[in-house]
Structure 1
Amino acid sequence: MAIRDILLLVDGGRGSTARIDATLALADAWDAHLVALALVPEPYIPAAVGVNIPPEILEQQRRRAEEEADALLSRVDERAGRFARPVERRREIAPIDRLPVLFARHGRHADLVVVGQPDPEENTADQALLVESAFMHSGRPALVVPYIGARAMPPETVICCWDGSREAARAINDAIPFLEKAKRVLVTVVDPQSLGGRVGPIAGADMAAHLAHHGIAVEVKDIESGGLDVADVILSHAADEGADMLVMGGYGHSRLREIIFGGTTQYVLEHMTVPVLFAH
């Protein structure tokens, strides 16, 4: 299996350059087609009571936003020069509440979507909606790159979080192209006794056997949380094992522009220090 088509969401956040470089490294490793997408919110200036905003003001704001998006896309071209790799540029402009829908539509025509971790130092509501859209609504796996960047891409050590769920099964299968290139792959089960029969009589053994059929050697790790939060246990385990990437099933839903992820997904997104491949 290989990834042949990658969609990268570009923005002006502090982790943008690191995300671009990580994505270019992946595209180079798979010789994949790379699309850089910039999403531009339609200008909106609240009108005061009884005051009309001249159309030329809105048009001026729109042109400025488009120029900023073009500058972001040009940055991708500049970084891509090191790999001598062409990049397809795309730009979409729409009302801000429509951008996640547009992002998901573009994602459906890619093998992998790459997006940045929501940055706590910025207004993260819209960022979080885009991240959610990347793996919840595109039908594709999403690689979320932390704003501190990626240590190694493609990753050399990968931890697959396994709980027997449909979402986790989807994520691990979507990660096979990464796992085939990795030097070390772990299937980790947290508190297997609490999962009932979902992970089989020997926790993780069935998933390890499945991956072995793809020629992937796997270490199975069963971890007891000791009453700690599962997300905390996973992130600590990733640090202890020197992981370059996590693989997880993703959960989430939106309501009235407020993102509410499942507890583990939310916590990992907020505290991640390595890229995480999410799928739903």
Structure 2
Amino acid sequence: MDRPTFAVHINSSRHMPERVRLAAELAVACGAHLVGMASTMLPDSPYMSSIGSEATSLLADYLGRVRSKVNADLDVFERIAMGADVCSCEKRVLDDEAGMAFCLQGLYSDLLIVGQVDADDPLDVPDNLPEYVLMNSGRPVLVCPLASRTTSIGKRCVIAWDGSLEASRAITGALPILRRAASVLLCVVDPEIGRGAHGQEPGADIALYLARHDIRTEVTCTSAGSSRADIGTVLLAEAARFDTDLLVMGGYGHSRLREVVLGGVTATVLRTMNLPVLMAH
């Protein structure tokens, strides 16, 4: 039995239940095992012995209260997953920073599911989780929007294709979803014909690759104008025009220690997205 593993980030954000609903819907569609992954955002208990007995006692008490809240959040996950008839699910919690904990879970997952950051929600922490997980997990990352136009996910998909390794990895990670899509639009923005071109016609080779996976695509070419950052706006506009419920694209940037600097397209999409976006780096 081939059963992929999806992991969804669980925190106390007001958007968490909707994120779990989308994750559960996708897990049911793909026959996936769904992991609800939460973190206390505190160090593991063996490290507490080095900070003194009084501080250790206070921290242990605080950690106990944090764990109680985390377990309550995971109970919400479980109720939604079971109510959606997810065939297989589990709850996990780690005493660690959320980004590191979720990247660790990525070692054992096919897809990581996080939420778009809500700057107005103090409980939506950490505030850089999508970027950090994208850059450090080595797994495709599905980002769920704060405000969504869709009631489903993965039925009408747009793929942003630029011939890059990141875009190729995003497509590979999205294959289980794309196979179940009713329609797929392959969007090429400002294609360049020349040494770096992929086939005589932009998008032709990747469309043929997808066809071998029984995924039929429509290819469209469009222009972003002078600014690369505008590509993100163009992609979201194409997604709206196509009435899309999933955008698949490469995620660009670099990580230096814990600093994450995103490229213009990735940053634009993560900031202004209103539909689920599957990215890979």
- Which residue is equivalent to 2:211? 212
The alpha-carbon distance between structure 1 residues 136 and 257, as it changes in their structure 2 partners (threshold 3 A), is closer
- Which residue is equivalent to 1:238? 239
Cα offset for 1:77?
1.3
Cα offset for 1:32?
1.5
- Which residue is equivalent to 1:29? 29
Indicate conservation of the 8 Å contact 2:11/2:125, yes or no: no
- Which residue is equivalent to 1:92? 94
- Which residue is equivalent to 2:175? 176
Q: Deviations over 1:29-50 (max 9, x none)?
A: 122111111011128xxxxxxx
1: distance between equivalents of 2:193 and 2:71? Answer: 50
Q: Deviations over 1:169-227 (max 9, x none)?
A: 11112211111111110110101138863333211111111111111111000001233
Q: Name whichever of 222-231 and 178-187 sits farther off.
A: 222-231
2: distance between equivalents of 1:191 and 1:241? Answer: 19
2: distance between equivalents of 1:137 and 1:150? Answer: 29
In structure 2, give the amino acid aligned to 1:182: A
The alpha-carbon distance between structure 1 residues 211 and 65, as it changes in their structure 2 partners (threshold 3 A), is same
Q: Equivalent residue of 2:171, what SS?
A: helix
Indicate conservation of the 8 Å contact 1:165/1:198, yes or no: no
In structure 2, give the amino acid aligned to 1:112: L
Q: How does 1:1-280 map to 2 (within 5 A)?
A: 4-42=4-42, 54-85=55-86, 86-94=88-96, 96=97, 99-122=98-121, 126-128=126-128, 130-149=129-148, 151-193=150-192, 197-227=196-226, 229-255=230-256, 257-280=258-281
Q: Deviations over 1:131-188 (max 9, x none)?
A: 2343322222111111225724442110100001111111112211111111110110
Q: Equivalent residue of 2:17, what SS?
A: helix
Q: Deviations over 1:52-86 (max 9, x none)?
A: 96433222211111111001100011112323434
In structure 2, give the amino acid aligned to 1:174: G
The alpha-carbon distance between structure 1 residues 71 and 273, as it changes in their structure 2 partners (threshold 3 A), is same
Cα offset for 1:90?
0.5
Cα offset for 1:255?
4.3
2: distance between equivalents of 1:3 and 1:199? Answer: 33
Sequence identity (%): 37
2: distance between equivalents of 1:237 and 1:149? Answer: 16
Indicate conservation of the 8 Å contact 1:14/1:147, yes or no: no
In structure 2, give the amino acid aligned to 1:42: L
2: distance between equivalents of 1:113 and 1:71? Answer: 21
1: distance between equivalents of 2:82 and 2:148? Answer: 19
| Aligned length in residues | 268
Using the size of structure 2 for normalisation, the TM-score is 0.87
2: distance between equivalents of 1:268 and 1:120? Answer: 16
The alpha-carbon distance between structure 1 residues 160 and 17, as it changes in their structure 2 partners (threshold 3 A), is same
Let me know the Cα RMSD of the aligned residues: 2.4
In structure 2, give the amino acid aligned to 1:250: G
2: distance between equivalents of 1:273 and 1:260? Answer: 22
In structure 2, give the amino acid aligned to 1:175: A
Using the size of structure 1 for normalisation, the TM-score is 0.87
Indicate conservation of the 8 Å contact 1:125/1:259, yes or no: no
2: distance between equivalents of 1:110 and 1:176? Answer: 15
Q: Equivalent residue of 1:221, what SS?
A: strand
In structure 1, give the amino acid aligned to 2:36: A
